[in-house]
Amino acid sequence: MKIGIVCYPTYGGSGVVATELGKFFGTQGHEVHFISYDQPARLDFFNERLYYHEVSVSDYPLFRYPPYEIALSSKIVDTVINAGLDVLHVHYAIPHAAAAVMAKYILKERGINIPIITTLHGTDITLVGRDATYGPVITYSLNQSDGITAVSQSLKNDTLELFPIHNEIEVIPNFVDMTRFSKKPREHFKRAIAPNGERVIVHTSNFRKVKRVDDVIEVFRLINKQIPSRLLMIGDGPERIRVERECRECDMCDQISFLGKQDAVEELLSVSDLFIMPSETESFGLAALEAMACQVPVISTNTGGLPEVNIHGKTGFTCAVGDIQSMAKYGIEILESDEQLNQFKQAALEHAMTFDINTVGPLYMTYYEQILQSVNA
C-alpha cells in the first residue's frame, strides 16, 4: 500500500506518533510518503520505502502571514498524483485535516478519490478546538474525513462533546517501540548521574504551562526531604527559563539537572526510578508510556487519557491536578524500598508491552483497509 502521512515535524506527541507509525509501515513493506514543512525529527534513518516531501511557502509581501494551508493542499495534490497514494493519513486536525479536505476536492475533479483518515491527538480538540475561530472548520473537516481515530477514549468523548460529528470515531491508542525503549540500564551511566546511590526522578515535556512544571519541582522537593534523589528535567519550551532560574535560586540546584531536548531519551529513562507527569490535561500521555517501557513507574494526574495508560496502584499512581502532597506521598511509597520499586517497575513494563507498535500498528492498517473498502464500495 502507498500511504501519505501529513504531520508536524516537531518533537511533540503527534509528530512522533505519525513518524514512528510511518517507519513501522516501511518495515512491513509499504511505501510511505511524509508531507510536512520540515523533515520529521524521528525520521532519522534511510529506508528505500520512506519518502519526505517538503511543503514550501512563498514569502510574498502581500501576505501578512504565509498561506501554509494552501501550500500544504497543493503539495498533497502533487504527492497523491505523482506517488499514486492509496490513502492519506493526517495527524492533528489543525490545519492538516482542512488542507486534506481541500486537496480531496481538487483531486476529485481530476478523477482521483483519495480516502482521508484524520487522527486526533488532543490539543487540536481540547485547546485549539475550543477556539470559536476554528470550530466550524474543524467540524466540517472531520465530517468530510472518510475516517477518524482518537488516541484515547477520553479524547473521543471530548470530541463528541465539543463538536457535532456524525462520523464514527475509532479509538486506536498511541504506541511505543519496545525494541527501542526496553533498554537495560547502564550502571556506570547511572552512577555518573547519582554517584551516591540516589534515586533518579525524571520529567520530560515541552515545558508549556499545561505541563505544570512547577509541580514537578515541588513534588521532587518533598520527596527529596525523605529520600535522597536527583531530578532530570528533559525537554525545552516557554516555561524552562523561568523554572530553571527559580531552581538556581533555591537550595536544590545541585540535585536538579536541566538537559534540554534529547534524541536518545530512552538512555536517560532506562536509568531512572520514577517519572512525574503532573499535567493539567493529557489526551493520552505518550511520555508516560515511553517511561513505562523503560521500567519506570509513573506518578501522574488523573486527567484525560492518563488513567488509560497509568494504572493506579499498579504501574504507578494517579492524583488530582495540583495535588502535590499526594504525588509526593505516592512517590515516596514507590521509592522507599527496592522491593516495592522493583514490583512497580515490572508492572510498568508489562503494561507498556500491551502498547507495543507491533500490536497497535496493525490496528491502523486494518482500519485503512476498512476505509478503502467502504470508499470503493
pLDDT of residue 371: 96
pLDDT at 221: 93
Whether 250 has a pLDDT exceeding 90, the answer reads no
| Of 116-130, 259-273, 277-291, 351-365, the least confident | 116-130
- Residue 128: its pLDDT value, please? 64
Mean residue pLDDT of the chain comes to 91
SS3 call for 282: coil
Report pTM. 0.89
Q: Structural domains in the chain?
A: 2-175+357-376 (3.40.50.2000), 178-353 (3.40.50.2000)
Sign of CA dihedral 159, 161, 167, 171: positive
Angle at 283 between CA 279 and CA 285, to 5 degrees: 60
Is the per-residue pLDDT at 20 higher than 60?
A: yes
pLDDT of residue 262: 86
Of 9-18, 170-179, 356-365, the one with minimum mean pLDDT is 9-18
Residues 6+ apart with CB under 8 A from 243: 207, 213, 214, 217, 233
pLDDT band per the 50, 70, 90 thresholds, residue 11: low
CB 25 within 8 A of CB 365: yes
Which amino acid type is present at position 315? T
In the chain, % helix, strand, coil (3-state, to 5) comes to 50, 20, 35
Measured distance CA(75)–CA(87) in Å, rounded: 15
pLDDT digits (tens, 9 = 90+) for 197-248: 899 999 999 899 999 999 999 999 999 999 999 999 999 999 998 988 888 8
Name the band, by pLDDT with cuts 50, 70 and 90, for residue 129: low
pLDDT at site 14: 81
pLDDT at 126 > cutoff 80:
no
Taking Cα atoms as reference points, which of 262, 232, 258, 259 lies closest to residue 245?
258
For the cut 80, the answer to whether the pLDDT of residue 65 exceeds it is no
Q: pLDDT tens for residues 80-102?
A: 999 999 999 999 888 899 999 99
Q: What's the whole-number mean pLDDT along residues 277-293?
A: 94
Query: Other C-beta atoms within 10 Å of 307: how many?
Result: 17
75 or 187, higher pLDDT: 75
What is the reported pLDDT for 130? 67
At 83 the three-state DSSP class reads helix
Q: What angle do the packed helices 286-293 and 13-27 form, to 10 degrees? A: 50
